[in-house]
Structure 1
Amino acid sequence: MVNEQFKKDVDTFVDEVWEDVVADIDRLVRHESVEDLAAAEPGKPWGPASNAALVEAERMAERLGLQVTDVDGRLGFGDVPGASGPERYLATIAHTDIVPVGLGWSYPALEVTRREGYLIGRGVQDDKGPFVLSLYAAHFFARRAAAGEELPYTLRCIIGNNEETGMGDVPYYLERYPEPLFCFSPDADFPLICGEKGLYQGRFTSGEVAGEKVVELDGGTVPNAICGRATALVRADAATLPEGDRIEVEPAGEGLARVVATGIGGHASMPEGTVNAIGVLARYLLAHDLAGEGERSFLELLVTLTEDAYGRASGIAATDDKFGDLTCVAGVVRTEGGRFTQTVDCRYPTTTTDAAITARLEELGAERGCAFEQLSSDAPFYQSPDGPEIQALLATYAEYSGEPAEAYTIGGGTYARHFARACAFGPNVTDEERPAWAGIEHGPDEAISEESLRQALRIYIVAIARLMELDL
């Protein structure tokens, strides 16, 4: 299937459809498709805004010649039927939901802005832009099928709609449909991600100790991010409290002061170079005797959890040759009903288990008068990079990029981890030189270069064609 003429046909196709690709990305970006479970209803389990983006994507797929199925509003898929029938298929999976827009944008967040070869808008990189690429890759083969060139395997574009908040859509799908022969998710970085650490979250809860000196602790936004700002409302005269490194103090009413700690935030899977504001705050309060007896125990727990980001101080450190070190970060601290709570997020290798992590953190909590509960866990995912499917993808990337291509592992999580044979495959190029105004995924002014997307579309079409040539 793949020869020089085929690759010329791909180049011609990408040039022909590119403006349509950008227009379709814009159509999806205009949907503020953030999960809203409070507004969920039958057929719209992730809320109406997420569902609207799913419906938009399904209409796109149908317009581009795919046979579309909606799976109870949880997700959808579009097929290019092949000789294998619907039971034996190759798949892509991308998602149409987004993280909240947030603050700090210089450009409209909910429409695509073009600037100096970049597309800007929430989801252009994660993952609405890559999703549209997957549809147009399938459209290329749908055109050829209409001209009589039947694919050996059915090609399925799975339209995810709940990736950012739990991936509850894929298990629902897999309960109803067979596994793909192989699947890749265009929701990551090139060259290729063949493994992902185990994902683990838990929470410590103190006794009813809040209020003697520490009225309130508050820090962090989500469990899977290192806290960049944390505050404590304490019973003290603000004028008597010194400011310190990363610490500010302000009056908060009669007999009360607010202590504000500023750290360097980041993703829980990549803690290097970060500073956890929760640890900064806890150390300050302890150093200045701003804690009662029970409060002190909880603050000492926070110090232990933030002593390092690799679970060494807390006694859960682990490493292996595939994934490297376990990471463990304290994400969100809150005060609820006179109790303090603190979440932890761990990304763990194959040399430990969720049960071992839970057992040790329960011990650590008990030492500090706290209860601990495991909230969620997902085992490590690893796909051998020596398999023919991954080798086909890597060879295609190397051919188009002109660079050596090796698979690697990450601490984050993608849809790939839910499938038996899968990987994450671009389209982001991590070493690309970017202008200062071009934001990253999940941040303000999220941006991705058009050329990298165009190149990714070529790579995806050729890679799918090579997968079709394999005996699966």
Structure 2
Amino acid sequence: MTATLTAQEQTLLPLIQQWIERHREALIADLAGWIAFPGISRADQALPGAPFGAECAELLRHVLAQAQQAGFATENHDGYAGSVIYGKHPRDIGLINHLDVVPAGDNWTFPPFQLSRHGDFVIGRGVADNKGPGVMNLYLLKLIRDLNIPLHHNLRIVYGLAEETTMEDMKWYRQHAPLPEYSLVTDGMFPVNNAQKGQLTFTLRVPNAGVLAKIRAGVASNSVPAFADVAIDGVNTDKVQEKLALLQGVGASYVTLSHEQGSYRLTARGNGGHAAFPDGTLNAARVLLAGLLELELLNARERQLANFLFEWFTSPYGENAGLGLEDTQSGRLTLNAGVWHSSEPDTLTINCDIRYPVSWRGEHIVEIIEQQLANSGIQLEAGWRDVAPFYLPEDHPVISLLQQTWNDLTGRDDRPYAMGGVTHSKVLPNAITFGPGYVRTSENTPDFLPDGHGFPHGADETIHLPSLLEALPKYVIGLMRLDAWLLERNKG
């Protein structure tokens, strides 16, 4: 392919922009309808035809019905996923997306499951990850159809329902449904992603935890907790209030004491966000540990455990846990303690998430964790789950094709990127993550939200509509080029 836009591509660009302007409000209205269905994946609430719970099944039916009304063929894959198809060719190019979201959590200033608008921004759980891009995919098919853009492959959107949990949606799809020749996974950043870290999810068990067993924080292992609290009894509240006024460090501005239903509750505030992108986040559970330690509300064993956990989770990059790992292909390991709860009396349970560099393997990470926990009184539960890394070299032909498309349309000279985020690229063959996320600037970053708000997996999840819609021409040109490359390859 050439390193510049063809005459056909240049002619299309203004037509694409005009089409976007005509359909912008309809896209927003459809997104509002999707946001109204929470869509939290719950395999523990499986029903016949609804392996991830009734909520996800209802959302999928809504989306497929909307696509049918728009004139597209649809397929419901036994409730594991759904397809929307444009074209009548023997082979497919895929657009992979997920409809499920993480739980809303606390501290929202806007309603999480009602789309809100503020200027060029929309707010709601899933607007960025991944319902906003999902609606965009449906409109991408409409755009290509309306502008009569010729392709030699069908376009098949596949909507999954368990990306935020186990990815059983696409594991099932891979075994039972039509696989595209190549797919674009619309669940990342631009430009093109060629490396995704491995993901290790595991549970720490802290027996005889005393007060610590009453800590409650977080909604998912892959989300940084924004709030944490613990019930405390038998304390001199006057002394605690005096000490609160003298707190230092992370507890100084973020810990409060309240009285409710005959007991006292210590509450800590942090900054939530996605575990794989920890910059700017603050784990509220760790803030709470700092408050408990400085307020001297723990006995000797509780202090020992709290000190260990506080230090172990000090860095979101794992240095204090002996996990300061890094490689040139994918960067640094990340470590997150996402959910703190009690699964049995006097026992604290912590659900954790690690994203590790592509040159490492999950079993090696587990060995380090076991060594670190030796003699700590904290146990690593059996049943940890490992999702291996994804990696393609930068000179892979489709990586190069998509990267060149981005550079041609932006005038930049960027390279493919690595990330800690995990997408369906890990599960489906020949599935490459390409957008539609964007680098934040002063123009596309909301200035009307509290600090730490507005991110995927956090409170007041927000997306900048113009930045999302700017992805459409990149997908059109990228799909045209991928279609031509596959046609030529298959001739040989």
Q: What range describes the TM-score normalised by the shorter chain of this pair?
A: 0.7 to 0.9
* SS at 1:369 equivalent: coil
Supply the AA of the counterpart residue of 1:200. Answer: L
Against the structure 1 CA distance between its residues 254 and 17, is the aligned structure 2 distance closer, same or farther, given a 3 Å change threshold?
closer
- Is 1:35 equivalent to 2:50 in the alignment? no
8 A Cα contact 2:102 2:220, kept in partner = no
Aligned runs of 1:402-417 on 2, under 5 Å?
402-417=411-426
Q: Pick from 30, 45, 54 the counterpart of residue 48 of structure 1.
A: 54
* SS at 2:33 equivalent: helix
Against the structure 1 CA distance between its residues 22 and 266, is the aligned structure 2 distance closer, same or farther, given a 3 Å change threshold?
closer
Aligned runs of 1:254-273 on 2, under 5 Å?
258-273=265-280
CA distance in 1, matches of 2:143, 2:264: 63
CA distance in 2, matches of 1:254, 1:42: 41
Q: Which residue of 2 aligns with 1:131?
A: 134
Q: For the aligned residues, what is the CA RMSD?
A: 3.2
Cα displacement (A) at 1:120:
3.9
Give the alignment's TM-score, normalised by structure 2: 0.83
- Is 1:425 equivalent to 2:434 in the alignment? yes
Supply the AA of the counterpart residue of 1:197. Answer: K
Q: Pick from 434, 450, 453 the counterpart of residue 465 of structure 2.
A: 450
Q: Which residue of 2 aligns with 1:361?
A: 369
Supply the AA of the counterpart residue of 1:170. Answer: M
**CA-to-partner distance for each residue in 1:205-235, whole Å, 9 max, x for gaps?**
133x234x76733333332233444444265
8 A Cα contact 2:115 2:123, kept in partner = yes
Q: Which moved more, 1:190-199 or 1:265-274?
A: 265-274
Supply the AA of the counterpart residue of 2:478. Answer: A
CA distance in 1, matches of 2:22, 2:421: 35
Against the structure 1 CA distance between its residues 54 and 229, is the aligned structure 2 distance closer, same or farther, given a 3 Å change threshold?
closer
Q: Which moved more, 1:13-22 or 1:121-130?
A: 13-22
Q: Which residue of 1 aligns with 2:305?
A: 298
Cα displacement (A) at 1:24:
2.6
CA distance in 2, matches of 1:91, 1:367: 50
Supply the AA of the counterpart residue of 1:456. Answer: A
Supply the AA of the counterpart residue of 1:453. Answer: L
8 A Cα contact 1:216 1:234, kept in partner = no
**CA-to-partner distance for each residue in 1:416-442, whole Å, 9 max, x for gaps?**
222232222222322341341373434
Cα displacement (A) at 1:46:
1.8
- Is 1:76 equivalent to 2:82 in the alignment? yes
Against the structure 1 CA distance between its residues 183 and 260, is the aligned structure 2 distance closer, same or farther, given a 3 Å change threshold?
same
- Is 1:192 equivalent to 2:192 in the alignment? yes
Count of matched residue pairs: 464
CA distance in 2, matches of 1:107, 1:276: 22
CA distance in 2, matches of 1:101, 1:206: 27
- Is 1:307 equivalent to 2:314 in the alignment? yes
CA distance in 2, matches of 1:27, 1:253: 38
Q: Which residue of 2 aligns with 1:436?
A: 447
8 A Cα contact 1:327 1:348, kept in partner = yes
8 A Cα contact 2:192 2:435, kept in partner = yes
**CA-to-partner distance for each residue in 1:237-265, whole Å, 9 max, x for gaps?**
33344221215474869998654444444
* SS at 1:313 equivalent: helix
Against the structure 1 CA distance between its residues 348 and 332, is the aligned structure 2 distance closer, same or farther, given a 3 Å change threshold?
same
* SS at 1:452 equivalent: helix
8 A Cα contact 2:272 2:282, kept in partner = yes
Give the alignment's TM-score, normalised by structure 1: 0.86
**CA-to-partner distance for each residue in 1:367-415, whole Å, 9 max, x for gaps?**
1123212532111112223223223322333333343332211111122
Q: Percent identity?
A: 29
Against the structure 1 CA distance between its residues 323 and 3, is the aligned structure 2 distance closer, same or farther, given a 3 Å change threshold?
closer
CA distance in 2, matches of 1:102, 1:251: 20
8 A Cα contact 1:119 1:449, kept in partner = yes
Cα displacement (A) at 1:347:
0.9
Q: Which moved more, 1:402-411 or 1:96-105?
A: 96-105
* SS at 2:67 equivalent: helix
CA distance in 1, matches of 2:261, 2:154: 70
CA distance in 2, matches of 1:35, 1:389: 32
Q: Which residue of 1 aligns with 2:237?
A: 238
CA distance in 1, matches of 2:205, 2:124: 39
CA distance in 1, matches of 2:294, 2:457: 36
Cα displacement (A) at 1:319:
1.1
Aligned runs of 1:42-441 on 2, under 5 Å?
42-81=48-87, 83=89, 85=90, 88-102=91-105, 109-142=112-145, 151-177=151-177, 179-207=179-207, 209-211=208-210, 216-232=214-230, 233=232, 235-241=234-240, 242-243=243-244, 244-245=247-248, 246=251, 248=255, 250=257, 258-283=265-290, 285-286=292-293, 290-335=297-342, 336-373=344-381, 374-432=383-441, 433-434=443-444, 435-437=446-448, 439-441=454-456
Q: Which residue of 1 aligns with 2:3?
A: none
CA distance in 2, matches of 1:192, 1:138: 21
CA distance in 2, matches of 1:253, 1:445: 27
Specify every segment of 5 or more residues in structure 1 that has no aligned partner in the other structure, as ranges: none
Against the structure 1 CA distance between its residues 399 and 269, is the aligned structure 2 distance closer, same or farther, given a 3 Å change threshold?
same
**CA-to-partner distance for each residue in 1:271-317, whole Å, 9 max, x for gaps?**
33444443444455456664445434422431331232222222233
